[in-house]
Each structure stands twice: as C-alpha cells, then as structure tokens.
Amino acid sequence: MREPSVAVALLPLFCRDEAMVGDILEEHETRQSRAWLWRQVAMAVVFNLPYGMVRRERQSAKLPMPIGGISFVVFVALITVVAPGAWWLVAMGAAGGVLLAVILVAMARRRSLSARNVLLDR
C-alpha cells in the first residue's frame, strides 16, 4: 500500500524535525493505515502552523533570466502598435506601484523603529 503523496509532501513542509518525519513514515509502513497517517500530518501542520513552513535551501543555482527584459520589449511594442493612446494608463499604473511601494516601505520602517525603541526602553 502506497502512502498518500499529498500527506508525504505536507509532512516535511510543516515538520521541522526530520527524524520525526522519518518515524511517522516508518510507522505508517507497519500500520498501513491512511487515516493514521493523515491524522499525524494534520497534527504536525496544526502544531507547527504558528512557526510557518520550513524553508529549504535551493538545490540548483539561480539562473539569470532574460525573460523579463524580453517580455517588457514585447509589451512596449504591443502597446505602441495596438493602442498608442493607452500609454497614460501604463504610466499611471507604474506611478501607483511606486507610490504603493514607498508607502509600504515607510510603514515597515516605522514599525521596526517603534519595535526597536520598545526594546531599548526596557
């Protein structure tokens, strides 16, 4: 009997202890109970949810991707050919994105400075 692949994929994502993952999978091999395995996975997810998912290091190196530049050139060409009057919409969208980014960075800095001041006051 094969173990459920979704359960096996979720277990290492939320369980930080690799030995526990191995123990659960070994116990599943002897019990052969899908319900038991899903119950263990559910408990691992529930108890480790406040700590977030386990982030593993990438196995492959990041490759430089020219796709963004190529797609930008294609986007500019399409707007110029199809709807040249729509450039104001693109410009307003870009300006709104920059404004939103500035606001989010300012809020994050203010939050980190207030947290730092609270720690220094103690």
41 and 7 Cβ atoms separated by less than 8 Å:
yes
On the question of pLDDT at 119 being above 60, the answer is no
Angle, helix 18-31 to helix 34-48, in steps of 10 degrees = 160
pLDDT tens, residue by residue, 47-62: 777 666 666 666 666 6
Q: What angle do CA 111, 115, 117 make, to 5 degrees?
A: 120
Distance of alpha carbon 94 from alpha carbon 86, whole angstroms: 13
Residue 15 contacts residue 48 (beta carbons within 8 Å):
yes
- pTM for the full model? 0.42
From 11, 5, 3, select the one nearest 48 (Cα to Cα): 11
pLDDT tens, position by position, 34-93: 888 888 888 888 877 766 666 666 666 665 666 667 887 888 888 888 888 888 888 899
pLDDT of residue 48: 76
Average pLDDT along the chain: 79
